[in-house]
Each structure stands twice: as C-alpha cells, then as structure tokens.
Amino acid sequence: MVNVGILGATGMVGQRFIELLADHPQFEITALTASKRSAGKKYRDAVNWHLETGIPEAVKDTVVVDTDPSEVKDVDLVFSALPANIAAAVEPKFAAAGMKVASNASAMRMEPDVPLVIPEVNPEHLDLIETQQKNRGWDGFIVTNPNCSTIALTLTLKPLYDQYDIKRVYVSTMQAVSGAGYSGVPSMAILDNIVPYIGSEEEKMESETLQLLGDFDGESVTPANFKLSASCNRTPVIDGHTEAVFIEMGEEFEVDDVKDVFKGFKGLPQKLGLHSAPESPVIVREEDDRPQPRMDRGAGGGMAVSVGRVRRDNVFPENLKYVLVGHNTIRGAAGASILNAELINEIM
C-alpha cells in the first residue's frame, strides 16, 4: 500500500478524493490537510460533509494538518484539491520535498514541463516528469489533470482524432453546479435559470484539449492540428456536465464507423486493468434522448463518458454532431487525479 495525503481535504473535490479512496486497493489515506483554521481538528469536526455516502470511518478521526510539506509525514504521494491560487504556491513545495503530486488544480497545467494527462489519452506525456525534475531540481514531481469539461470532451475526441482528420470543433456546455464548489452557485442564481458564463472555462477547454491531443517528442508538446471553440453555461443540475458537440471533419466518415470507434476505444488504463479505469471510457447510447446527466453521470462508476445522438449533420453533411455527459467531480476531478496516480504507480 502507498501512503497518500489529500491537500485541501475539506472541500467538495477533497471529499470526492476521500470517498473514492476509501476502499482503494493500492492507496491508503494517511494525511489530510486543510487551512490553518481546520488544522488540529479531527476530520469529522473540520469538514462540512456533503456527499450522500457519508464520511468513511477510516478518516473520521484523522487529525487534519496544515497544508505544508513539513506537516505531512511518511507520505509518498499527495492528491491536490487546492484552489488554483494556493496550489500555485504550495504544490511545488510538496514536489521539492520529494512527494509525487497528482493535482486537480489548474495552476500548473499549462507549464511546459508539467504533464497534463488523461491516462487514456496521452500517458506518454508523463515522460515530461524527468524534464521537470531536472529543470526544477525536485525529487518529487507534479502531474496534473485537465478541467472537468475538457476531460469529458477530450475522451471522446481522442478515438476520433486517432482515426479521422478533424478540422474544427464547436462545443456548447451545460454544466453542473458542483463544478463551482459547494457554495459556488447560489440557488437564487440558478433555480429556474441558466447562467451563460463560467469564468475562464472556455479558455481552459480551448487550450487544454489541444495540448492533451498534441504530439510529444520526448521534450515538449506540439498542440493538435485543429481548433476548438467553446461556449460554457451553468445549468440547474447537481452533478454531470452535458456538452453539445459539432465537428467539421476533415475527411469522409460513416456514422456507424464513428460509433464503432467510440465503442472500441480502450486506453492504457484499460489495458493495464487499473483499479479506477472504466471498462470502456466512452459508452455509446442509442436512445434518442440520451445521454442525460442524472441518468448517465454514474456510468462506469462515474469514470465513463456517455455519448449519444451521434449523427451526421443534416445541414453540413461533412460534419459530425453528438452530445456527451461526464461526471464532473469524479471523472472530471478527483477520479481523474486518482487514475493518473494509479498509472504512475503502475509504470514508474
């Protein structure tokens, strides 16, 4: 068993880490950090727990410590659920102290020597770790996963991009409120309403996706050779991001072939049989009215992305259209970091 810590353990993503790691076969939670205000308290007293599953017994009495490497003993790997601004300052200290950092924060994602990884998509980018350690003189390292809406989309673009030329992608998202943290979206803002704006979300999708699908030459990443434009919206849904996708394809395709490409997609996590890897990263729904976030967010334990309405564009027959749903706080956040850590644990 690998001893792991969770940085920012009391927030929404921190809670998901704890839930998903509670019965993990390789990782054992031995440290939980939070802000100074919570340090010294038992986890049960420090947290305002919001998941239906309840606080796992194993961590209820764990004493929370300050988010500082000197407070986190005998831990090999930490999961970071820190806010971006804190992550920028603190994650490097953990790496410098020799720990592996699997981070869900956006702070370091676009650093040229920090791998931004979805294990099914670009596991080879992990080779950047060596460059990172050399550049920065760290014994540990930082690995990041993308933004929630990017992960779901990129998991569906990967098998397509492997098989077909893609020219342009337009995506309009309908995102769940949990993505903004527990208090991020007031009920007054979203009941009987849509908010057509999520700060920095479009920019993240537009840059991270191309980075993830880019070519890695062993030292740096050349972004993928197509472009993507996003329009991001908040909707009154608890968990599960829905995305309407329009793709201008660069070559002929048949819809049935596209579905087969989705269905047949397996990545390295599937081949290695990693604990958190869903059997199929992309599930194809044939019903007219699926996927739907409440019905499909839990697919593959929240780690699979469901696509539906896979169809040729009526109007632009060279275009492909589909809708996807992915669980934003499992596959799109905590589960993403855990799968990264499982891959690192397996291959490094």
Query: Half-sphere exposure of 184 toward its Cβ, with a 13 Å CA cutoff?
Result: 19
Q: Which is nearer to a second copy, 55 or 96 (CB)?
A: 55
58 in helix, strand or coil? helix
Q: Which two tokens stand for residue 257?
A: 């072939």
DSSP 63: B
Would you give the binding string for a second copy spanning residues 147-176, x where CB under 8 A is met?
---------------------x-x-x-x--
Minimum gap (Å) between residue 314 Cβ and a second copy: 6
Q: Which is nearer to a second copy, 139 or 289 (CB)?
A: 289
Annotated active-site residue 125? The verdict is no
Site for a second copy contains 319 (CB under 8 A): yes
Question: Is beta strand 227-234 parallel, antiparallel or unpaired with respect to 166-175?
Answer: parallel
Site for a second copy contains 237 (CB under 8 A): yes
Task: Collect all residues with Cβ–Cβ distance below 8 Å to 270 and sequence separation of at least 6.
Answer: 120, 277, 278, 279, 280, 281
Region near a second copy per CB under 8 A, out of 101-109, 136-144, 186-194, 254-262: 186-194
Pair 157, 248: CB distance under 8 Å: no
Annotated active-site residue 148? The verdict is yes
For 100-133, b/e burial (b = at least 16 CB within 10 A) is bbbbbbbbbbeeebbbbbbbbbbbebbebbebbe
Would you give the binding string for a second copy spanning residues 38-67, x where CB under 8 A is met?
------------x-x---------------
- Which residues are part of the catalytic machinery? 148, 241
Q: Which residues bind a second copy (CB under 8 A)?
A: 12, 50, 52, 168, 170, 172, 174, 177-178, 182-197, 199, 202-203, 206, 227-229, 231, 233, 235-238, 242, 244, 246, 288-295, 298, 308-309, 313-316, 319, 321, 323
